[in-house]
Amino acid sequence: MSTYRVAQVDTAGAPLRIVEREVPRPGPRHVRIAVEACGICHSDAAFVNALLPGVRFPVVPGHENAGRIEELGDGAADMGWQVGDRVAVGWFGGSCGHCTRCRQGDFIVCDTLKVPGWAYDGGFAESMIAPVDALARIPEALSATDAGPMACAGVTVFNGMRRSSARPGDLVAVLGLGGLGHLGVQYAVAMGFETVGIARGADKADFAKQLGAHHYIDSTADTPVAEALQSLGGAKVVVATASNSDAITAAFDGLAPRGELVVIGADAQPLGINPNQLLMSARVIRGHPSGTAQDVQDTMAFSALHGIRPMTEVVPLEQVDEAYQKMLSGRARFRMVLTNR
């Protein structure tokens, strides 16, 4: 019997542990992927701790996956996939194809979106099964450890910006310079935006400039963030990657008239924004989910073209629980990535 290793959580909040399982066969229109790298995302905590409905244990998390196809299920070859293809699978792990959203072509908000680690076993493992509509081709210029985080963190900020109202030359602010924000600044610069990095502390200024930001705002300085943005002319778009509702609220009045707040960072606390702040300047607040497999593929192609890479700490699968805890503590710089190499 052939076996492979997975890192699973047996009960809500329990540590991740390595176990061996029998190697599964992919079903129709599915493939088995030899996982080479898998990023650890803060959203994995929602599955580890059963914070979302329908989580069933044991759970194998992991939705920032990169690897190679090692076996095809029936029909996968007819859809253009071959053994050996390099693929990534992100938060978008497939859709139902028949709900109203899917029939409208808006697959990322499918009624029964299949997220790896929730709908099926994710990539904290040596291999995984995924449906073909979840697969994004990895360009040769990207390593697996770079491609994995692009499938969730990368596509979320890239897609959020390119679908925003900002155009080249507009002032765009990225709130937060962590796992999402450090990519967001790089994408904003490459898209031709006048880019503002916003974070806590004057010591982050040099880092923001290294990422390419044209301006830096210290959110702990005497000048409020909104006032500092208005002194630059007001932001067309603020991309809120920080998971802090107070920080997001503080940046909102820095938007120009008809400016747009794109919320990416997740926080259970409400935003402190009143209707008058929206009405008088015709501002918009928009939540943004991740992106489809094609969006992931676009993100990786854009990243390869512009030399954009995530900053990662790479550890072997055996150290998964230590790496997960480091991510939770906020000490990761900036994406923890598991590897089977």
Q: What is the pLDDT of residues 138-174, one digit of tens each?
A: 999 999 999 999 999 999 999 999 999 999 999 999 9
pLDDT beyond 80 at 258? yes
What number is the average pLDDT over the span 172-201? Answer: 98
Amino acid at position 262, single letter: V
Amino acid at position 58, single letter: P
Q: Are 290 and 150 in contact (CB under 8 A)?
A: no
pLDDT beyond 80 at 341? no
What number is the average pLDDT over the span 4-21? Answer: 98
Strands 312-316, 335-339: pairing kind: parallel
Q: Are 76 and 132 in contact (CB under 8 A)?
A: yes
Predicted TM-score (pTM) of the model is 0.96
Q: Are 211 and 182 in contact (CB under 8 A)?
A: yes
Helix axes 293-306, 181-190, angle to 10 degrees: 70
Strands 3-9, 16-22: pairing kind: antiparallel
C-alpha span between 269 and 289 (Å, rounded): 18
Mean pLDDT of the chain: 97
pLDDT at 145: 98
> How many CB atoms are located within 10 Å of the residue 62 CB?
28
